Amino acid sequence: MKNIFLFVSFLFLISCQKEKKETAPVTKDEKIKKEIIPIPKKEIKIKEETKNIYPWKKDYDIKKSIINNIPLPEGYQRIPYESGSFADWLRHLPLKEKGSRVHYHNGRTKPIHVHHAVLDIDTGKEDLQQCADAVMRLKSEYHYSLKEFESIHFNYTSGDNVSFDDWRKGKKPIVRGNRVDFSAPSGQTDNSYSNFKKYIQQIFTYAGTASLSREMNQVIRINDIEVGDVFIIGGHPGHAVIVIDVAENDRKEKIFMIAQSYMPAQDIHILKNPNDSNMSPWYSIDFGEKLFTPEWTFDASDLKRF
């Protein structure tokens, strides 16, 4: 009888410990894990495919026309990048329908055909989103889509750093000639996309190739080129084009695609390769001393990285 009593007591003790363990507070990671586990795999897949990581596109569909669908030259394969990275985000940017023309901010059509495809992203109605501005727009849109507000910051030509993290809290730059002061935070936070667009518009006004080129780090070896790198020459005017895809063959020979806006402000577009129509819109890293693009010429030393 005593042994039966001890056995029942032991079972009760185990039951209590199990109940205590299940009702004990869980960490944030454990909570997330418990919430995810019961969801069927099929439902997770659908959620990821329809998730809007391009805020300006209300109806983005990963199955539609994207950069990742542009054919490769024979023998080449796209270099893999981590899902969710800036490189991966750029590679899946939405495109306008095949045959679309490049339009200026005022609606007029660009008279020359230097593009292979046009990105499906707004330009704005003012003459602001030009070359470096397009690069800054894409970089900041990426971080905004992930709510990485502290990563959205650029320098004015004056050298003053202006961040969206401050901007959304009401700390705004006040420009007086060549001097930049900042207001005190308002005490309210506005993370809205419309407020973000106001932030990026003023960045376009007071920043450019001269300031952006000083913020970026030089890529020493052209063979180390990655998606998200930028060929940039700072100046008044200067120019910048962003690398939006990279591939290589079995011999580790790399090719890349580049996109630009230009002057006046216009649709961001993928450039043709004027030197090799068979490879276009891809460019070989073995371009020699100069990289000739349809509207600008760069050196290999002009390649930089955020």
In a domain? residue 62: no
Same domain for 12 and 88: no
Can you list the residues of the chain whose pLDDT is less than 70?
Answer: 1-52, 62-65
State the Cα–Cα distance between residues 57 and 78, nearest whole angstrom.
25
| pLDDT the model gives residue 35 | 39
Same domain for 119 and 216: yes
Same domain for 202 and 157: yes
In a domain? residue 81: yes
> What pTM value is reported for the model?
0.82
Beta bridge partners of 245: 257
| pLDDT the model gives residue 71 | 95
Dump pLDDT digits (tens) for 142-184.
Answer: 999 999 999 999 999 999 999 999 999 999 999 998 899 999 9
| pLDDT the model gives residue 51 | 55
Same domain for 25 and 167: no
In a domain? residue 53: no
In a domain? residue 178: yes
| pLDDT the model gives residue 61 | 73
Structural domains of the chain, count: 2
In a domain? residue 83: yes
| pLDDT the model gives residue 68 | 83
Say which residues have a Cβ less than 8 Å from residue 264's Cβ, sequence separation at least 6.
104, 105, 106, 127, 130
Same domain for 137 and 179: yes
Same domain for 247 and 144: yes
Same domain for 95 and 34: no
Same domain for 117 and 259: yes
Same domain for 8 and 146: no
Q: Answer whether 132's CB lies under 8 Å from 216's CB.
A: no
Q: Which domain holds residue 103?
A: 72-306
Same domain for 292 and 159: yes
In a domain? residue 276: yes
Same domain for 125 and 11: no
Same domain for 198 and 303: yes
